[in-house]
Structure 1
Amino acid sequence: MENKRKRKRINFAEKQGEIIIDIESFIKNKSSENVKKVQSVKEEIEIDIYFDKHYYLRNQVGDQNGKRDGIGYDFVESTLMKATKHLIYYALKIKSFTFINFEEGFKQRMILTQHFNDDSDDLNIVVEYHYLSMHKYEVTVITALRKNDFYFNDGSYQIELQEDDTSNLNKKEMNKVKKTSSFNGI
């Protein structure tokens, strides 16, 4: 084999002058040390809130034990809005977790439990979320109850919301409540 001479390399710095790299345009993100942001997109979703007749009557009239205190619309609506971002977080983080129901299949109900710092009973809300379209969903409040040891069925998920915007996702399996994940705020 004959030895070939290496081809002379072109020195672009000499031809173009000094190359200036805009350090502001390339930053670090979760995927790479050297990326340039080209666009941000903000999507909005619409959530319709419905109250089931069972909840509506419990709040307005009560039951055999009388009117239920602490399950008013304002408490329930604010807890629903707070829980939504936690539900989305867990649905993105945990592959086996879903809270949105579609037309077909088993209807998954969620238990949203709001803890309070003032030693009052927990607010427990049983809800169903349903897909309507890409940007529209509905949530139905089935019932609500102020009770610290709220019972729910095997296979059901519960989100425990704290007043400091943290939460735990629990699942009941074999009659035991097991912590699946946590959200410590952002």
Structure 2
Amino acid sequence: MPSTKPPPPQPQPVPPASSGTTTDRTPEERPSTLLPGAAGEAMLALQKVVAAIGASDPATFYTSADAFEKVAAMLGELNRGITERSMKMFVGDTPGEGWQGEGAQVCSRIVGQFNDYLGILLQQVTKWPPPVREAGTQLQQTWYAVDAVLAKHSAAPPDTTPPPPAPTTRKTPETDPKDSALNVQTLSA
């Protein structure tokens, strides 16, 4: 019995991209694919984002970064002070003059661990001001960008209707007899 297989599918030619298709248009020129309800939800979400950005203040980020720098300076001063005082207490001004014994060793270890902890904390706190300050800068730039977008989209669309034509007066034999006589002479010559 002969096989009744269908012929293999032939490749379909891909139509070339032509100008005027939606892929050739910029996002502003493309028709919206949002459904009316989705567009309303998108606008509501955008309004919430704009409100949140507007409620934030870049100055709070700059103030916080300054506060972190002050804390870092105080921690550094505390770290140096503990190091200097513990050296005097445990070593003394000259070797062998400081506090000696088992209690001194335990206290020295505890003070050393505390000072090490302050050093680690100081390293971490000194890393915080630059990103906090950058967040303030980014927020400020976002304000400008949002304001520009809102201004662009809230401005009235430009009037694209052409102005009415200016009234013109055509010269006719009735309105300009001199031209009429000239035309007659030119034709008869």
TM category, shorter:
under 0.3
Higher helix share: 2
TM-score, length of structure 2 as denominator length:
0.19
Higher strand share: 1
1 or 2 for the larger relative contact order (CA 8 Å, sep ≥6)?
2
Larger Rg: 2
TM-score, length of structure 1 as denominator length:
0.19
